[in-house]
Amino acid sequence: MTTRIIGIEGTAWAASAAVFEFDPDDFSDAAAPTVETDAYQPDSGGLHPREAAEHMSEAIPAVIETVLDGAEGPIDAVAFSRGPGLGPCLRTVGTAARALAGTLDVPLVGVNHMLAHLEIGRHGSGFDAPVCLNASGANAHLLGYHGGRYRVLGETMDTGVGNAIDKFTRHVGWSHPGGPKVEEAAKGGEYVDLPYVVKGMDFSFSGLMSAAKGAYDDGTPVEDVCFSLQETTFAMLTEVSERALSLTGADELVLGGGVGQNERLRGMLAAMCEERGAEFYAPDPRYLRDNAGMIAVLGGKMLAAGETIGIDESAIDPNYRPDEVPVTWHAEESVSVGAVDTAERQGAEAVVTVADDRVVKRRLPKAYRHPDLDARLRRERTVAEARLTSEARRHGVPTPVVYDVDVADATLTLSRVGDRDLAADLSPAHARAVGDHLATLHRAGVVHGDPTVRNVRIGTDRLFLIDFGLGYHSGHVEDHAMDCHVFGGSVRGTADDPGTVLSAFEAGYADAGDDAVLSRLREIEGRGRYQ
């Protein structure tokens, strides 16, 4: 049975409509949706919300009429982007969708724009349980499906990747969109050092962009800044993607979002996945940028699952988070597969070889990173891990003993600790002990940097913290709260009952730590990266 759904997209730039034909019982043979898009182009600078909304009001009726004229049969439902996005643009699309559904007397389907970016890739790839990287203008985050929802495994702590790049291009006087101009200029550039900020699977672009602007102002050739901007920004996104694969045990990665059109980013992700033995999929570029095809595809899957809404339930939400959406259109596959305990284990950064009572950990060269950047990170992280692992022990936190350090080869020899990862036995009691350990570290001015459920080992009578490679010294409440945020993200992404586990973790932290840290954690969690 053929079903047709029209999708309408209009969160910011793209006034777009598409018709998708599918069999509700078998999406595998569905043809690609037919898409019509009229994109807003500002005369100068970045996006102007009022002008974007005016463009949406004029363009949406025309793109809808075009795809309806080309439809090869009646329309069975109307899907539209409810958010996240610019309120005035979303209201225009919502009004158009309600009017069209009423005229055709068909159901409405309200779609989360960010999930649509991922679902068009999941649909095209046929993957069962991928980790998904969204790299778009206003957003940047990693999602993994678990327990009936897409869980946020990692996200930007300040601005979306596309917006970050646009801030640099506006600084140098280039018109919107900035991404393609950076990509073109980078072809003639050479590498210069820029800040690289990864905190577990979270990341930050603000310091990187400030440094890029400063380098340009100081006379560094713009092509060198653009080259280094790409190498650094996309290496960060690739690294956190690999960390998410390592955390969850997944072996499939899907890319979504307009920045995913960049050839260097796609190349880095493909190279990383090839090294790991994972599969990688990026949709055709026309389905990476904002488009109604992705709204129609996800809308079709939701329609087949019975996920329709009434007019009174169709309000738009400019801050609509992807992890708020109950996912009823997928079977219960999960990215969480528990712990891995073998003689040789590949993490996100290193291969760990276990022999008797010792562990040899070697940070591998990463082919996707620029050689200079790769050498710097491997060296700095090896040194940091050796020093902070030993320092944590001196402050009473159980960690491995460091027997040997070879900085040139980025290799550590440590004592073997525990018999399983925390991921294999994530109980409230164990989480409470992690909270106590992190609070003890923070009182001593040490930040772990990557305290995930993979980086805690469970022994007979105690828990050990391992892998301090992203660690550093800081007494700042924000840095301590980010440590807690990283742990929380890893729990939410993998645990069946994250609320109970995280309550125990915070109780353990409160017993030994600063109340201001947990207050700041609430602030971090509420900042919202999906606008």
As for how many domains the chain has, the answer is: 4
Last residue of a domain, one of 265, 285, 305: 285
Q: Which residues contact 394 (CB under 8 A, 6 or more apart)?
A: none
Residues 141-157, mean pLDDT to the nearest whole number: 91
pLDDT tens digits, one per residue of 246-257:
999 899 999 999
User: Tokens in use for 148?
Assistant: 């009936």
**Separation between Cα atoms, residue 307 and residue 268, nearest integer Å:** 36
Residues 101-114, mean pLDDT to the nearest whole number: 96
**Separation between Cα atoms, residue 365 and residue 350, nearest integer Å:** 9
- Smallest CA-to-CA distance from 473 within 438, 448, 451 is with 448
The pLDDT score that the predictor gives to residue 531 is 38
**Separation between Cα atoms, residue 259 and residue 261, nearest integer Å:** 5
| Helix, coil or strand: residue 488 | helix
The pLDDT score that the predictor gives to residue 417 is 96
**CATH code of the domain containing 493:** 1.10.510.10
Residue at 338 is within a domain: no
- Any idea which residue has 């219960």 for tokens? 332
108 and 175 together in one domain: no
**CATH code of the domain containing 106:** 3.30.420.40
Asked if the bond preceding 84 is cis, omega within 30° of 0, the reply is: yes
229 and 193 together in one domain: yes
**pLDDT exceeds 90 at position 269:** yes
Residue at 480 is within a domain: yes
Asked if the bond preceding 177 is cis, omega within 30° of 0, the reply is: yes
Q: For strand 14-22 and strand 34-39, is the pairing parallel, antiparallel, or unpaired?
A: antiparallel
**Residue 391's Cα: distance from chain center in Å?**
32
Q: pLDDT band for position 45 (50/70/90)?
A: low
Residue at 68 is within a domain: yes
464 and 374 together in one domain: no
Residues 39-68, mean pLDDT to the nearest whole number: 86
The pLDDT score that the predictor gives to residue 29 is 83
Residue at 368 is within a domain: yes
Contacts 24+ apart (CB under 8 A), 211-215: 212/168, 213/167, 213/168, 213/171
**CATH code of the domain containing 349:** 3.30.200.20
pLDDT tens digits, one per residue of 189-240:
999 999 999 999 999 999 999 999 999 999 999 999 999 999 999 999 999 9
Q: Which residues of 283-299 are buried (b: 16+ CB within 10 A; e: fewer)?
A: beeebbbbbbbbbbbbb
Last residue of a domain, one of 396, 415, 434: 415
Q: pLDDT band for position 518 (50/70/90)?
A: very high
Q: Which residues contact 204 (CB under 8 A, 6 or more apart)?
A: 156, 157, 158, 197
Across all residues in the chain, what is the average pLDDT? 93
Q: Is 511 tagged catalytic?
A: no
Residue at 336 is within a domain: no
pLDDT tens digits, one per residue of 441-477:
999 999 999 999 999 999 999 999 999 999 999 999 9
20 and 169 together in one domain: no
pLDDT tens digits, one per residue of 333-371:
666 545 455 556 777 889 999 988 999 999 999 999 999
Last residue of a domain, one of 237, 269, 285: 285
pLDDT tens digits, one per residue of 385-437:
999 999 999 999 999 999 999 999 999 999 999 999 999 999 999 999 999 99
396 and 467 together in one domain: no
144 and 276 together in one domain: yes
Q: Which residues contact 297 (CB under 8 A, 6 or more apart)?
A: 7, 20, 33, 116, 119, 120, 123
Q: 277 or 46: whose pLDDT is higher?
A: 277
User: Tokens in use for 233?
Assistant: 């920004």
Residues 279-303, mean pLDDT to the nearest whole number: 95
470 and 495 together in one domain: yes
**Is residue 444 within 8 Å of residue 471, measured between CB atoms?**
no
The pLDDT score that the predictor gives to residue 44 is 66
- Smallest CA-to-CA distance from 33 within 306, 300, 257 is with 300
Residue at 339 is within a domain: no
Catalytic residue among 374, 436, 450, 483: 450
**Residue 346's Cα: distance from chain center in Å?**
21
Domain hosting 494: range is 420-525
355 and 225 together in one domain: no
155 and 104 together in one domain: no
**Is residue 182 within 8 Å of residue 265, measured between CB atoms?**
no
Residue at 166 is within a domain: yes
The secondary element (H helix, E strand) that includes residue 19 is strand 14-22
177 and 134 together in one domain: yes
161 and 246 together in one domain: yes
The pLDDT score that the predictor gives to residue 236 is 98
Q: pLDDT band for position 496 (50/70/90)?
A: confident
Residue at 331 is within a domain: no
259 and 142 together in one domain: yes
Q: pLDDT band for position 530 (50/70/90)?
A: very low
Q: For strand 350-355 and strand 344-346, is the pairing parallel, antiparallel, or unpaired?
A: antiparallel
